[in-house]
Amino acid sequence: MTFLLTLLAAILVLGPLVALHEWGHFIVARLCGVKVLTYSIGFGPKLAGWRSKKSGIDYRISALPLGGYVKMLDEREGEVAADELHLAFNRQHPLKKIAIVAAGPIMNFVIAIFLFWVLFMTPSEQLSTNIGEVLPDTPAAIAQLPVGDKVVAIDGHDVQTWEAINYRLAGRMGETGNINVTVMGQSGSDTQTFQAPISDFMQHNNGKDALSSFGVLPWQPTIEPIIGGLSEGGAAERQGLKVGDRITSINGNKIDDWISATRIIRDNPEALLTFDVMRDGKPVRLEVMPQGKKDTMGNAYGQIGAMVEASEIVVPDAYKTTVVYDPAAALVQSFKKTEQLAVMTVDSMGKMISGMIGLENLSGPITIAKVAKQSFEISWQTVLSTAALISLSLAVLNLLPIPVLDGGHMVYYLIELIRGRPVSENAQMVGLNIGLLLLAGFMVLAIGNDISRLF
């Protein structure tokens, strides 16, 4: 059932993105006077479809859901009747060819901008960017960032949400130097910029997000570290913890709140921990080994199967903010966010190639499907955000100058525009084979990473 739900979520998120990408190629090809033969979602054997009586176009859904294609009339792929030569793709001006090939990635950019625009226009109450906690032995602790002050900029870029802070910090992954953090005092007037030193930042982050790696966390409620429930068969129940136990320390670390306890537990999967608890007014010491689990990205974390009693959490007004933009401002923000994430994606690829960050950060279709499923479990806003991020990634990846991708074809047609004649078929075939080899290598690596995250 989990597999089917994951597959369905992937189809619901990826299907429209692939369909619209190919529709970009399709509609521009027709506007440029090129005859389209086939519009397919997926590759391989045809599963379903129909042929238009008016245009003769074969619309189909194919068996392998790893993309799609638009097949156009082309003398390189078969004989073309003399009266249809003007409709063949290969006979078109290079600028028309470039427009047709670029239309798919451009459509993905448009989708990302539109989805971000919708999200920016949706009012959302969020935690303000006031620092709730600074973790020890982190860049934020070394810089002595003041708890309670509000983060207003990272490296000179204004930030209004913790998500924006997280993206700015993630953009420095693998780097060495200083991260400049500008904060506003609690009086709401003066600002001060701190320099936080980083060295190979997040190169080996062991599953930590950018905020935790940097060492700043939002405000979090103080929850008493008292066990309110136990999962049947969980490590906590099996190894002696009981409902009502108050955790006082773990491995000698004093515990004052539930979040401190869960942080230690999550960071120590399959490690034997010493729990000191108060039970009926008496101290009790137990050895508990958190069960090893894996998140969507395959990062290991610990879990003992204990929970607190449900209680209402009241967020202080000082730590709340409502984020909303009017349509014009939202559109500006969506363009800015699309630009930022596109640059960050290209930058991350360069860092992987140079070794600044590990290739284990590369994800394939299995991880994408799991993330899609997880987004449906959270909220519709998360679904739209996930779809926007995937659409943006598809746009950037397809524009890479690798011959088998749209970007590689655009290079050929740009050369044709400059030289006045097409690149020779032999040269194109050599490029195609190299492109297929590179793409196959990336796919093997990405799927290998996906499988390693599963097991």
How much is the average pLDDT of 101-105? 96
Q: Which residues is 179 bridged to in the sheet?
A: 196
Give the end of a domain, one of 295, 323, 351. Answer: 323
Q: pLDDT at position 11, please?
A: 86
SS3 at position 207? coil
257 in a structural domain: yes
Q: What is the CATH number of the domain that holds 208?
A: 2.30.42.10
Give the end of a domain, one of 311, 340, 375. Answer: 311
400: confidence class by pLDDT, cuts 50, 70, 90: very high
194: confidence class by pLDDT, cuts 50, 70, 90: very high
108 in a structural domain: yes
Output 173 or 364, whichever has higher pLDDT: 173
Tell me, yes or no, whether 198 and 319 share the same domain: yes
How much is the average pLDDT of 421-447? 89
Q: pLDDT at position 408, please?
A: 93
Distance CA 130, CA 315 (A): 12
9 in a structural domain: yes
202 in a structural domain: yes
pLDDT over threshold 80, residue 208: no
pLDDT over threshold 70, residue 66: yes
pLDDT more than 90, % of the chain: 63
Report the domain count for the chain: 3
**Who's near 448: CB < 8 A, 6+ residues apart?**
none
Q: pLDDT at position 385, please?
A: 94
Tell me, yes or no, whether 271 and 172 share the same domain: no
- Record the pTM: 0.81
Give the end of a domain, one of 283, 311, 339. Answer: 311
Tell me the catalytic residues. Answer: 22
Distance CA 61, CA 23 (A): 14
378 in a structural domain: no
pLDDT over threshold 70, residue 394: yes
Distance CA 57, CA 36 (A): 6
In 3D, which of 129, 122, 203, 208 has the Cα closest to residue 163?
A: 129
Could you list the residue range(s) of the whole structural domain that residue 269 is in?
229-311
Tell me, yes or no, whether 236 and 306 share the same domain: yes
Tell me, yes or no, whether 302 and 415 share the same domain: no
Tell me, yes or no, whether 264 and 148 share the same domain: no
How much is the average pLDDT of 421-432? 89
Tell me, yes or no, whether 99 and 20 share the same domain: yes
Burial label for 144, CB within 10 Å (0-12, 13-18, 19+), is: exposed
Instruction: Note the Cα 384 to chain centre separation in Å.
Output: 12
Q: pLDDT at position 204, please?
A: 67
Q: What angle, 0 to 180 degrees and rounded to 10, lies between the N-to-C axes of helices 365-378 and 2-31?
A: 100
Q: pLDDT at position 205, please?
A: 60
Q: pLDDT at position 349, please?
A: 87
Q: pLDDT at position 206, please?
A: 61
63 in a structural domain: no
Tell me, yes or no, whether 15 and 109 share the same domain: yes
23: confidence class by pLDDT, cuts 50, 70, 90: very high
297: confidence class by pLDDT, cuts 50, 70, 90: low
Output 298 or 321, whichever has higher pLDDT: 321
How much is the average pLDDT of 26-42? 95
Tell me, yes or no, whether 148 and 97 share the same domain: no
- Is residue 230 a contact partner of residue 324, using CB atoms and an 8 Å limit? no
248 in a structural domain: yes
Q: pLDDT at position 358, please?
A: 77
Tell me, yes or no, whether 139 and 12 share the same domain: no
Q: Which tens digit of pLDDT belongs to each residue from 239-282?
A: 999 999 999 999 999 999 998 899 899 989 999 999 999 999 99
Most confident of 34-43, 124-133, 420-429: 34-43
How much is the average pLDDT of 135-154? 93
DSSP-H helix ranges across 1-132: 2-31, 94-121
pLDDT over threshold 70, residue 148: yes
Distance CA 143, CA 197 (A): 7
Burial label for 10, CB within 10 Å (0-12, 13-18, 19+), is: buried
Tell me, yes or no, whether 7 and 117 share the same domain: yes
Tell me, yes or no, whether 211 and 249 share the same domain: no
Q: Which tens digit of pLDDT belongs to each residue from 4-15?
A: 888 888 889 998
**Single-letter residue type at 386:** T
Q: Which tens digit of pLDDT belongs to each residue from 39-63?
A: 999 888 999 999 999 999 999 999 8
249 in a structural domain: yes
Mean pLDDT of the chain: 90
Tell me, yes or no, whether 24 and 99 share the same domain: yes
